[in-house]
Amino acid sequence: MLRYTIRRLLQLLIVVGVLSLLLFAWLRSLPGGPVSALLGERATTESRARLTEELGLDQPIFVQYFKFVGRALSGDFGVSTGVQPGDSATEIFLQRFPATLELSFLAIVIAVAVGIPLGYLAARRRGGWLDNLSVVSSLIGVAVPVFFLAFLLKQVFAVDLGWFPTAGRQEGGIDATRVTGFFVLDGILTQEWDAAWDALVHLILPAVALSSIPFSVVFRITRASVLDVVDEDYVRTAESKGLTTPVIRRRHVLRNAMLPVVTTIGLQTGALLAGAVLTEKVFAFPGIGQALALGFERRDYPVLLLLILCAAGVFVLINLLVDLSYALIDPRIRTRGGGR
């Protein structure tokens, strides 16, 4: 298991390395560029040339790349030109990455906490009203665009009803101590309960919007998987032993039914990141989604590079975690090679 983990981590490094090269080349091949974005279309040729030189964009691309790699290895990813001009890309990353992780984590928690029990119940009462209702709502969940759902939730629950804030991560008036950059966690660690609560309240609507697709997928995979598992011979064996329903449900049905669900959750992290870009825009949520959108608009090469590389890294890491937890639930994988 350890060797497997190490091998996967090495793979991660290679993926990030190759991706950095491709990204670097791709970003520079896009029309426009940071200079036009900063100076506008009507700037003089002279001032454009000066800025191009200042940013090092006049040099051959492979020189730029090796300079980037050299600096990146010492932790310097350059200075933002568009998202927060003047701030270092690393700084922007450290501000925004926890925001998006916090948001995505809550979205996944909602998707799992609602999707799995609902999937189980729907399967057990197949064809009942709960089943039909949740199948339909999961279809709507994947069909409705995330930004539209985000917009709708914001309009109804934030603007009209006023139950939730309309934008941001935390009210400006709150004096919160920063520890990790995860606002809810910070509030709990420092026991600033009002700060934690306020951060959580800001998260809820965007997290619900963001959870719509992972919820639908988790729900449907759970339902299908439970329907498969309840017909398995070993569930009948468990029944023939007279075990109580909760034990059969937990130990014999869910433990097996969770295998495909765990894989799904890993695959959903990619979709989650895409959804985060749109959700964060609607709720003016200062995460990496918002920074990516802004970064593309303004061709902010350093910020885009760092954020996309980190997003890819997180995606690979989460899939590694999924594989490891899969092995934890499924002894057939864990004992591979060890058994007969």
Partner 1 sequence: MALLEVRDLSVVFQRRGERPFTAVDGVSFDVEPGQTVGLVGESGCGKSVTSLAIMGLLAKRGVKISGSAKFDGTELLSLSDRQMRDRRGRDLGMVFQDPLSSLNPVVSIGLQVTEVLERHRDMSRKQASVEAAELLEKVGIPDPKRRLSEYPHQLSGGMRQRALIAIALACRPRLLIADEPTTALDVTIQAQILALLADLVRDTETALIMITHDLGVVAGLCDEVNVLYAGRVVERAGRHDLFRVPRHPYTHGLLASIPRLDAPRGERLSPIKGSVSDNIPWTTGCAFAPRCPNALDTCVQVTPAMEPDPVVAGPRLLRCHNPVEPATAAEQEIMS
Contacts with partner 1, residue ranges (CB under 8 A) = 232-234, 236-244, 247, 251-252, 255-256, 259, 329-332, 335, 339-340
Q: 26 or 234, CB closer to partner 1?
A: 234
Q: 101 or 259, CB closer to partner 1?
A: 259
Strand partners, 79: 88
Q: 41 or 233, CB closer to partner 1?
A: 233
In whole angstroms, the minimum distance from the beta carbon of 218 to partner 1 comes to 19
Pairwise CA distance, residues 205 & 210, whole Å = 9
In whole angstroms, the minimum distance from the beta carbon of 323 to partner 1 comes to 16
Structure tokens given for 271? 């979709």
Q: 171 or 232, CB closer to partner 1?
A: 232
In whole angstroms, the minimum distance from the beta carbon of 238 to partner 1 comes to 7
Neighbouring C-beta atoms of residue 122, cutoff 10 Å: 24
In whole angstroms, the minimum distance from the beta carbon of 337 to partner 1 comes to 11
Q: 23 or 238, CB closer to partner 1?
A: 238
Q: Which residue in 147, 29, 111, 80 sits closest to 305, CA to CA?
A: 80
In whole angstroms, the minimum distance from the beta carbon of 129 to partner 1 comes to 16
Which residues touch 61 (CB under 8 Å, ≥6 apart)? 24, 25, 28
Do residues 266 and 319 lie in contact, with contact meaning Cβ atoms separated by under 8 Å? yes
- DSSP annotation string for 94-121: HHHHHHHHHHHHHHHHHHHHHHHHHHHH
